[in-house]
Amino acid sequence: MDIATVSGIIVAYALVIGSLVIGAGLGTYIDIPSVMIVVGGTIGIVLVNFPLSNVLGAMGPLLKAFLYKSTDLNGIVDTLVKYAVKARRDGILALETAVDEVSEPLMKTGLQMVVDGEEPNLVRGILETDLDNREERHKIGVAIFESIGAYAPAMGMIGTLIGLVAMLKTMNDPSTIGPSMATALITTFYGAIISNMFALPIAGKLSLRASEESMAGQLIIDGIMSIQSGDNPRMMEQKLQAFIAPKKRVSQFNK
């Protein structure tokens, strides 16, 4: 669990809710029809914009955004170097057992193809197509949250326009203008909250995760190709560590 994400969201919401309580009491800011038009309307539009399967598929990443764990690049390098050592000592076929141990899908596919003795060009081609398409799928997840971030304020504005027109049409008693306008503004407020305090930061986190996984994927492909071409493990480690920030590099050989 990523303690910072959780604390971040708690702090931000606590401050806003605190302001509401101080402002005019929490109740003033809760208006069920306004919730329905902003939340319901946004969900409806998102379902027009994206196929249902994609929207449901975005719920998994949403959870991951909270349970975020930075990808352990050093661990991946270690695993790949370990297999390289094994392959050089006991032959490529000795990696058959490795294929079963590994859970990361790209590494599993790659090692299997290496064990099967597929041609290097084919191996690289398949792994790169696989990674490209994984990136495409991640982009759709990000796009869903970004579109929530765009449609929620739009629905908020639509709600406010509905309220404003109603208020202006029936403007007899000046004493009702204030409260009517306050209610009209509440949908704009909901739209701003949903966009800036939920959808956009989630989209940002998912996008970061996607580029981290993409870098890990590139590292895995380079590693698999090194194993297949029988590179010296020490040299291979050096090559793969170029993906890691200098300070964080940990070598298996200099320990």
The 3-class SS string of 64-127 reads HHHCCCCCCHHHHHHHHHHHHHHHHHHCHHHHHHHHHHCCCHHHHHHHHHHHCCCCHHHHHHHH
Neighbouring residues of 75: CB distance < 8 A, sequence distance ≥ 6: none
Tell me which of 44, 75, 120, 230 binds a copy of itself, using CB under 8 A. Answer: 44
Nearest alpha carbon to residue 217 among 128, 124, 138: 128
Count Cβ atoms within 10 A of the Cβ of residue 254 and give its class: 0-12 exposed, 13-18 middle, 19 or more buried.
exposed
The alpha helices in 119-199, defined as continuous H runs, are 120-169, 177-194
Span 164-223, contacts to a copy of itself by CB under 8 A: 164-171, 177-179, 181-182, 185-186, 188-189, 192-193, 195-197, 200-202, 204-205, 208, 211, 215
85/185 with CB nearer a copy of itself: 185
72/90 with CB nearer a copy of itself: 72
- Give the shortest CB-255-to-a copy of itself separation in angstroms: 19
Regarding 74 and contact with a copy of itself (CB under 8 A), the answer is no
Regarding 75 and contact with a copy of itself (CB under 8 A), the answer is no
79/187 with CB nearer a copy of itself: 187
Regarding 9 and contact with a copy of itself (CB under 8 A), the answer is yes
- Give the shortest CB-90-to-a copy of itself separation in angstroms: 25
Span 107-166, contacts to a copy of itself by CB under 8 A: 109, 113, 118, 122, 125-127, 129-130, 133-134, 136-137, 140, 143, 147, 150-151, 154-155, 157-159, 161-166
Count Cβ atoms within 10 A of the Cβ of residue 167 and give its class: 0-12 exposed, 13-18 middle, 19 or more buried.
middle
CA–CA separation, 40 vs 155, rounded Å?
9
Span 50-69, contacts to a copy of itself by CB under 8 A: 50-55, 65, 68
Span 81-110, contacts to a copy of itself by CB under 8 A: 105, 109
90/132 with CB nearer a copy of itself: 132
Return the number of other C-beta atoms located less than 10 Å from residue 238's C-beta. 14
- Give the shortest CB-161-to-a copy of itself separation in angstroms: 4
40/75 with CB nearer a copy of itself: 40
Nearest alpha carbon to residue 188 among 31, 51, 80: 31
CA–CA separation, 64 vs 2, rounded Å?
10
33/90 with CB nearer a copy of itself: 33
